[in-house]
Amino acid sequence: MSYNQHESSIFQTLIDFFSGIIKFLSAAAALAIVFTGISNSQATPDNYVFEKDYVRDFNVVAGKADSTVQFVYFIDLQCPACKANDPTVQEIQAEFGDRVAFVYRNYTLSDIHVFADVAARGGQAAARQGNDKYFAYKAKIYATQETLSVDNIIKSAQDSGIDMDRWNKDRQSSQILDEVRTDVRDIKAANLPKTKNRPDGGKALGTPTTVLMKDGEVFDSWTGGLSKDAQKAAIAEALI
């Protein structure tokens, strides 16, 4: 074999080698696209699975727990809009509580609300001592929201009649941390359908976000402080 033929042979071998690598990487990329496009109902490597019913067994549920209509309410305890909407939700809960399940979940905007995650973990820990402790704690947090701090969060728990030893242990547990993270991942993973109060469908890009469920399906949803009358109308329609 001549030198030129030998050089050509080596060159062809390199072409074949790199061509094989490119084909392999292309196939891997295609597989990645396929698996990225799998439904949210599929598990991720850390065992997270999107809950299409929007209700977890660790969520606070008030009203008629076994109702086929569920008012699933995602909040950030450091969010001013959530605080402003809270009295409206409490009035609606008082009116429909014998017919509708009111489910409280976390949607912490921790990139702009530095104490949101701490407050949410405190809320989950309070809920382990009863719904009454959770609602008392939430009210105290909202009352001090403008000056929220770790000290204020602890004082809110103390003023809510909570067993502080148990609360401190629970709020720092990995299980409570996972509960808050799972709530946030559920709402961020949601691709909400087009409904009366969300005509474009899509993602929930703010707090508070309400997902109104009927028979396990999204009946309506909205983000922000929808008027009391509009929220009541949506619930009344779901109950028909």
Task: State residue 5's pLDDT score.
Answer: 45
130 and 90 within one domain: yes
User: Counting every residue, how long is the chain?
Assistant: 240
Q: 3-state SS of the chain: helix, strand, coil percent to 5? A: 50, 15, 35
Task: State residue 45's pLDDT score.
Answer: 52
Total number of domains constituting the chain: 2
Print the domain residue range for 21.
Answer: 1-37
172 and 78 within one domain: yes
3-class DSSP state of 209: strand
233 and 175 within one domain: yes
Burial class (CB in 10 A: 0-12, 13-18, 19+), 108: buried
Written as tens digits, the pLDDT of the chain (240 aa) is 544 444 445 445 444 544 554 443 343 333 332 223 323 333 445 789 999 999 999 999 999 999 999 999 999 999 999 999 999 999 999 999 999 999 999 999 999 999 999 999 999 999 999 999 999 999 999 999 999 999 999 999 999 999 999 999 999 999 999 999 999 999 999 999 999 999 999 999 899 999 999 999 999 999 986 899 999 999 999 999
104 and 13 within one domain: no
121 and 9 within one domain: no
Task: State residue 105's pLDDT score.
Answer: 98
Residue 231 within any structural domain of the chain: yes
Q: What gap in Å lies between CA 48 and CA 80, rounded to an integer? A: 30
Residue 147 within any structural domain of the chain: yes
Torsion-angle region of 67 (φ positive above 0: left; ψ -120 to 50: alpha; else: beta): beta
Q: What gap in Å lies between CA 46 and CA 44, rounded to an integer? A: 5
127 and 94 within one domain: yes
72 and 16 within one domain: no
102 and 3 within one domain: no
118 and 31 within one domain: no
CATH code of the domain containing 113: 3.40.30.10
Residue 45 within any structural domain of the chain: no
